[in-house]
Amino acid sequence: MLRAADSIWKTDTGRARADNEDSAYARPPLYVVADGMGGAQAGEVASALAVEEFRVGLTAQGTAEQRLTERVQAANRRIYETAHRKLEHEGMGTTLTAVYLDESNLAVAHVGDSRAYIFRDGELVRLTHDHSLVEELIRRGKLTPEQAAAHPQRSIITRALGIEPEVEVDTWSYPMRAGDVVLLCSDGLTSMISEPQIASALAAGPDLDHAGERLIAEANEAGGRDNITVVLFRLEDVDADDRPAAEATAVNLRPVAQPGVDRPAGADGDGDGDGRTRVQQVIRSDASVPAAPAPRTTSSPQPPRTPRLARTQGRPPPIRSERGRSVKFRVTATLLSLAVVLLLVGGGGYLATRQLYFIGTNADGLVTLYDGLPYDFLGVPLWEQSYVSGLPASLVSAKQRTQLLNHDLRSQKNSIALIRAAELGDLPR
């Protein structure tokens, strides 16, 4: 039987980002890395919600792969529902790579472009396949790995949690042996340094803490364009009878919720003076694992209080005739009714436009998805930017423009499918 002898996770904001949207969970025998997207802090909410679903542990029924998939689908539904319930979280999502050590096998569940590796006998073996645009182009033979590394659209992912009510999850199981080192990481690491560099850092010595620090330092030295998160653990042989009780049953334990609003990985820690977050770590402990925002609780709204009429101080109020008061009351009631009707009509119209999407270009000339209507009203735009594809409009042919950049109103699903077809070169030219 195998167990994780050493477990660490580290995260860093990087040199180009103001916030850290990565989250991680590291508690034997379960490990998770999530890389959020969505902007305006929605990305960090999505990744933290995903990790939070794993803190309850896995169910006791089914194979390890099935149990991981169940948690991934639960996380996907929670993110999707939150994104559609709160306007400020609309369009958010996250990648997720989770592994579970089941005696002598490592089960993997994967969505997106975060990665899992095994370092064995000096060789780094990648366990996951990126769900990204460039990865699909490589599989189709349209790009080489070298071209993909410098491709302007290398950060576009084709699968993530929170985008649709259900998500397709890739799962595998790998036989493991003592001495193996497992690495989970966000693409902030793999987009900055090569796999040979990663292998070199892991081969430098047995100290996983030092290896994690070196990986993050090298990614920052290469530019640090994204948040960087690494989770590392080493396997060792152990007798079932020798396993510590807490670790043997860790999957069934639920950490005590902390009061207030928890912050995701990278959100806490001492600042280093330049706006970046210092490296954090967890060593075989759940005490510092990044948590999701406060639990979803819905409190019953309090009934509105009846306003109190202020008394006139110093002198009695002027005497008005009953007829005058009646006329004033009717005028006031009419104006209030009209205001309520206009508010309802306007609010309904605004909400209706939020269900419509159109495709255009942004100020940088990139194909962009907008929600709303392609018009201004008294100088106020009736649209908001929803997604920037990374596809330059200059690469879109005249024939493709008639399909793609005509500002036709579409559903969100139809619009995303059309943009993805253009990115993959599947639109007739």
Other beta carbons within 10 angstroms of residue 34's beta carbon come to 38
Q: What is the mean pLDDT of residues 358-378?
A: 77
pLDDT of residue 334: 64
Lowest mean pLDDT among 217-221, 230-234, 351-355: 351-355
Q: What is the pLDDT of residues 15-29, one digit of tens each?
A: 998 899 999 999 999
Question: CA-CA distances (angstroms) from residue 206 to 177, 179, 180, 197, 273?
Answer: 16, 10, 11, 16, 31
Domains and CATH numbers, the chain: 2-252 (3.60.40.10), 357-423 (no CATH)
Q: What is the pLDDT of residues 263-301, one digit of tens each?
A: 333 333 333 333 333 333 333 233 333 333 333 333 333
Give the C-alpha separation, 12 to 33, whole Å.
13
Q: What is the mean pLDDT of residues 127-141?
A: 84
In sequence order, the 6+-apart residues with CB closer than 8 A to the CB of 30 are 54, 57, 58, 98, 99, 100, 101, 250, 251
